[in-house]
Amino acid sequence: MIKINQIKLPVTHSDEALKKKIIKMLKLNAKTGFTYRILKKSLDARKKPELFYTYSVAVELDDTKNSEEAIVKRAASSSVLIYKEKEYRIPAHGNISLDRRPVIAGAGPAGLFCAYILAEAGFRPIVIERGSRVEKRTCDVQKFWESGILNPKSNVQFGEGGAGTFSDGKLSLCYEVGGDLPSLIGEQFAQELMDYTDGIYLEFGADPHVEGVYDGEEIKEIRKNAIHAGLKLVDCPIRHLGTEKAQQLYLAIQNYLADNGVEMLFSTECENIILENEECKGVFIKGPKDEEAHAVYADTVVIGTGRRGADWLEKICAEHHIAHKPGTVDIGVRVECRNEVMEKVNKVLYESKLIGYPKPWKNKVRTFCQNPGGFVAQENYDNDLAVVNGHSFKEKKSPNTNLAILVSHNFTEPFNQPIAYAQKVGELTNMLGAGHIMVQRYGDILDGKRTWQKELAQSNVKPTLKDAVAGDITAAMPYRAMTNIIEFIKMLDMVVPGFAANETLLYSPELKFYSNKVKMDENLDTNIRGLHCLGDSSGWTRGLMMASVMGVLMGRKLAEKEGC
C-alpha cells in the first residue's frame, strides 16, 4: 500500500474531491483503479473562518502490475511513502501464572500506560506514587502559583501524570523526537507503537487536531534558512493537550484504571527494592500513615519514577549493581520574545524543533517546548531548587512565545555525577536570584552588563513570569554552555529574523535531569531478573509521548510473558 499524508481539503469537500486529490498527488492516470482508507482525519482551524480537514490515507491499487515503489518515486513528495500496515494488538496472555500482582513505582505517563495495558489484558497491578492524585495536585499547584507556598509532597514535579501534567502538554508524534528508545527497539516499531499510543490519548479526550502538518512554500523557506544557518529542522507533528486539558485527561485515565481493578497508592514513597539472589522480589514502601517502610512482594517490579526520580534511581542502581552508564543532562535557558517575531514559525510548525552544533565545541544544542502565546513558569524541587519551564494553555494566551534552548552535556571518566553537576549550576543561579528565577535581556549579555528591573519595564517584551528577578545569568552559567547558547541564538536568528533582538529575554536556569541510562535489551529486561525501568527515569525517553510508548511496550512484554 501507499500512504499519503497532509491531504488538505475544505470541510465541505465531497468524496470525489478527496479521490481527485489522491490521483493528483500520486500522479495517476484518471482510469487507474484503486481503493483508499482514511487513517487519520483532523480539523485545521488556523485560518478562520476557513476550515479544512487534513487527511492521512492508505491507498491500494487494483492493478498489481503498477509498482508502488515507482509510483512513490514519481510522486516525488515527502508526503507520499510506502505503507506496510501492521496493526498493533494487545497480546494474548502468557502461560506463566503470577502468584503476586505486578508493582509499578511511579504514576507518570510511563507507569500509567503500563498499568493501562496490563489492565486491558486482565491484570490488576499496584501503582505506587509519591505525590497526590491529579485533582488534589491541581489545587496544590494552583496555590503555589498564586501564593508561592510549595507543598513538597504535591507539586509540579510530584504526583499523578508526572511533571508533564503541568508542562505545555504536547505530544510529539514522530519517533525522531523523545529520546533513544527507537535505537533499542527499532524505528519502525517505535512509530507503530507511537501511533497506537496516540489512539489511547484520543480515546481519553485528547484534541484530534494535529499541529505542524503544514506542507507548503513557507516550510520550504524555513528549512532552507535552517540549512543555511547550519541547523537541522526536525519534522514532527504535535498534538497539543494544553496544560489544563492534560490534567483532565490523566484524571480520566485514573478513573478507568480504578474501575478495572488497578490499586493506586498515592502519597506513598518507594524507598528501595527487595533483592534476593540477583532477583527483584518486591519493594519497600512507606505510606502517609506508616511510621516505617514495609515490604510489598511482587513477581514483577516496574520503576517509572520520572525525571524527578532520576537521582533516586541512580542510587538504587549503584546500591544493587543494576547495570547502567552515565546519562546526559541538559543545561540551558528559557527564551521569550514577542509573538510577532515567531509568527511564521508558530503558524507553519507550531513547535520548531531545531538542532545545531555551534562552534567552537560543537556540543548538541536544541530548541525544546515551544509555547506560542504561552507563559514562563517557575517550578520548585523538594530541595528548594527553582527551575524555569514554559506553559501553553488551550484558551488563555499571552502576547509572547517562549521556548527552551538546551545544551547537552555528556561526561566521561572519571566523572559520573551529571545530575549533581546540573543541580550545582541551578543552585548557584538561585543564590544570585535570592531563590527566584533570573532573567536577562540578550542585548545586555552581549554588552557584558546585567539587566535592571526598570529596563525590563521599558522593553517591548514584558516578562510573563512576574516573579523573575532581573540580573546577570552569565555569572552562574558555565562559560561553555553560555557560549553555545549565544552562538545558537545567532544561528536561529537566520531562521527567525528578530529572534536575536536586544530585548529578547533569557530566563535561567532551565535544567533537564535524565537518569543514568539503565542497560536493557529490546524486551526491556535489566540484568536483575524481575526488575524493569521505564520512561525518563530509565534514561531512554524524554517527554510525554515516548515515555507513554515505553509504558505501552512494557505492558505488552509483561502480558506476553505472564498469565493472569
The 3 state secondary structure assigned to 375-403 is EEEEEECCCCCEEEEEECCCCCCCCEEEE
Is the full-model pTM beyond 0.75? yes
Q: What whole-number distance in Å separates Cα of residue 505 and Cα of residue 466?
A: 13
CB-based contacts of 254: which residues, under 8 Å, 6+ apart? Answer: 112, 133, 134, 160, 264
For all residues of the chain together, what is the average pLDDT?
89
The answer to whether the CB of 106 falls within 8 A of the CB of 131 is: no
Q: What whole-number distance in Å separates Cα of residue 472 and Cα of residue 451?
A: 6
Task: Tell me what pLDDT residue 417 has.
Answer: 86
292 burial class (0-12, 13-18, 19+ CB within 10 angstroms)?
exposed
Task: Tell me what pLDDT residue 236 has.
Answer: 87
Task: Tell me what pLDDT residue 452 has.
Answer: 98
At 320, which helix (H) or strand (E)?
helix 310-320
Read off the pLDDT band of 404 (50, 70, 90). Answer: very high
Q: What whole-number distance in Å separates Cα of residue 318 and Cα of residue 307?
A: 18
Tens digit of each residue's pLDDT (9 = 90 or more) over 38-54: 887 777 666 656 778 88
Task: Tell me what pLDDT residue 281 has.
Answer: 96
Residues 316-335: what's their mean pLDDT?
93
Tens digit of each residue's pLDDT (9 = 90 or more) over 58-110: 999 887 666 888 898 888 887 888 887 655 555 555 544 456 899 999 999 99
Q: What whole-number distance in Å separates Cα of residue 468 and Cα of residue 464?
A: 9
The answer to whether the CB of 536 falls within 8 A of the CB of 542 is: yes
Among 522, 507, 425, 424, which residue's Cα sits nearest to residue 461?
Answer: 507
Cell of 169: 502538554
Give the type of residue at 67. Answer: S
Tens digit of each residue's pLDDT (9 = 90 or more) over 121-160: 999 999 999 989 888 887 888 887 778 777 877 777 778 8
Task: Tell me what pLDDT residue 168 has.
Answer: 66
Cis peptide before 182 (omega within 30 of 0): no
Q: Grid coordinates 509504558 are at which residue?
A: 551
Tens digit of each residue's pLDDT (9 = 90 or more) over 180-218: 999 999 999 999 999 999 999 998 888 888 888 776 789
